[in-house]
Amino acid sequence: MRRAARARIDLSALRHNLRTARRAAPRSRVMAVIKAEAYGHGMVAVARALAAEADAFALSCIDEARVLREAGVMLPLVVLQGFRDAGQLIEAARLGDVQPVIHSAGQLDVLASAALPAPLRVWLKLDTGMHRLGLPPAEAAALQKRVAALPQVAGVPGLMTHLACADEPERPETNAQLQVFDAATADLSGERSIANSAAVLRMPAACRDWVRPGIMLYGASPLVGEQAQSLDLKPVMTVSAPVVAVKRLAAGDAVGYGGSYVCKSPRTMAVVAMGYGDGYPRHAPSGTPVRVRGRRCELMGRVSMDMLCVDVTEVPGVAPGDAVTLWGEGLPVDEIAAAAGTISYELLCNVGGRLRMEYGG
């Protein structure tokens, strides 16, 4: 069931942000990351909007690849978490130009014993310092040789890694990871992919054959301390919800669960049909900004499951039905995330359940 709250998706801003990535990495092809429902924006809609702009799409799993192929999206699909078993490998081969990423020895064994209807292009992921998924860099040459010789594999496996600290370009870990990757792959053929959004914008040395922009496509900043607007990124998702009630409060009145907010003077409060059940962060504190009638206002008290309260004392004429912007145009999602002690990725990914999704541009 959908609520009155809505997420408006500006597809023209999405395409603008991809072009910003291209300008930042002009010698690289773009593997647009649209996993997790395109960070909450709707995977199929985003894929269709970027089909003429991207060179490939990056996903998290084979199930996402199936959804895109059934929707008629035919660009190459790179599956970042690869596959669990031979059944998923067979499905990848049948879907066509689905390229699994191999990150563990167990996956190599599955691939070597699978009876596939057609060979697959694959990538090898090296763990250069993230220490999450990835194969040992010291074994890169032997592993690539082994995989390339398999009849289940088409062409030379690509080589990729993932950067742990690219959002803080001044930290030394990223250069250390690049050095590990380059040392391990110096004498190897095959395409390379390293750069995420932050590296696309600030680390030319990480922009190899393919770049993998993710959060920047959706108009949020991938860099600590830098605003999206200064990076030539436009907000794609604007979340809004209607006012359902307006109340006058007296000095001393407490608002919401726990009475954590107490009015110091008479206030006018608007109750908005948006809560943590809709993906708004429960821990957003009093004072977190929203926009009402084009003016900034502040949250009052705790966010509830279906509602939140806003101080509209300085905005005359607020009435039930007025739209309140929670983030997006005129109110960066990064700012709301910072106020709530989280990151923009989490906010964007969490709104897909009950909100009405509207697409334009």
Domain CATH code at residue 86 = 3.20.20.10
CA dihedral 350, 10, 18, 335 (to 10 degrees): -50
CB-based contacts of 50, cutoff 8 Å, min separation 6: 14, 15, 18, 32, 34, 57, 217
Residue range of the domain that includes 82: 11-220
Q: In angstroms, rounded to a whole number, what is the distance separating the alpha carbons of residues 42 and 111?
A: 31
> Is 227 domain-assigned?
no
pLDDT at 87 over 90: yes
DSSP, collapsed to helix, strand or coil, labels residue 159 as: strand
* Active-site choice (145, 218, 257, 345): 257
Question: Please, are residues 345 and 33 in contact by the beta-carbon 8 Å criterion?
Answer: no
Q: Mark whether 193 and 283 lie in a shared domain.
A: no
Q: In angstroms, rounded to a whole number, what is the distance separating the alpha carbons of residues 47 and 32?
A: 9
Q: Mark whether 182 and 272 lie in a shared domain.
A: no
The per-residue pLDDT for 1 is: 54
Domain edge (last residue) among 165, 186, 220: 220
Domain edge (last residue) among 220, 253, 285: 220
Query: Average pLDDT, whole number, for the chain?
Result: 96
> Is 128 domain-assigned?
yes
Q: Mark whether 177 and 274 lie in a shared domain.
A: no
> Is 183 domain-assigned?
yes
Q: Mark whether 196 and 243 lie in a shared domain.
A: no
> Is 226 domain-assigned?
no
pTM for the complete prediction?
0.96
The per-residue pLDDT for 3 is: 76
Q: Mark whether 125 and 191 lie in a shared domain.
A: yes
35 is catalytic: yes
* Active-site choice (35, 218, 261, 276): 35
- Position 82, amino acid: G
> Is 32 domain-assigned?
yes
Q: How would residue 2 be classed by pLDDT, with cut points 50, 70 and 90?
A: low
Q: In angstroms, rounded to a whole number, what is the distance separating the alpha carbons of residues 311 and 191?
A: 54
Q: Mark whether 94 and 194 lie in a shared domain.
A: yes
Instruction: Enter the tokens of residue 178.
Output: 């690049």
Q: Mark whether 114 and 248 lie in a shared domain.
A: no
280 is catalytic: no
The per-residue pLDDT for 333 is: 97
- Tell me the pLDDT tens digit for each residue of 20-55: 999 999 999 999 999 999 999 999 999 999 999 999
- Tell me the pLDDT tens digit for each residue of 163-184: 999 999 999 999 999 999 999 9
Domain CATH code at residue 312 = 2.40.37.10
Phi, psi of 2 (to 5 degrees): -95, 145
pLDDT at 68 over 90: yes
> Is 230 domain-assigned?
no
- Tell me the pLDDT tens digit for each residue of 102-153: 999 999 999 999 999 999 999 999 999 999 999 999 999 999 999 999 999 9
Domain count within the chain:
2
Q: Mark whether 120 and 45 lie in a shared domain.
A: yes
109-125 burial, b if ≥16 CB within 10 A, otherwise e? ebbeebebeeebbbbbb
Q: Mark whether 342 and 317 lie in a shared domain.
A: yes
- Tell me the pLDDT tens digit for each residue of 253-296: 999 999 999 999 999 999 999 999 999 999 999 999 999 999 99
pLDDT at 91 over 70: yes
Inter-axis angle of helices 86-95 and 62-70, nearest 10? 30
> Is 334 domain-assigned?
yes
Between β-strands 289-292 and 295-300, what pairing exists: parallel, antiparallel or unpaired? antiparallel
Q: Mark whether 208 and 251 lie in a shared domain.
A: no
Q: Mark whether 248 and 209 lie in a shared domain.
A: no
Between residues 213 and 3, which one has the greater pLDDT?
213
> Is 43 domain-assigned?
yes
Q: Mark whether 192 and 243 lie in a shared domain.
A: no
Domain edge (last residue) among 163, 195, 220: 220
> Whose CA is closest to 217, among 231, 203, 204?
231
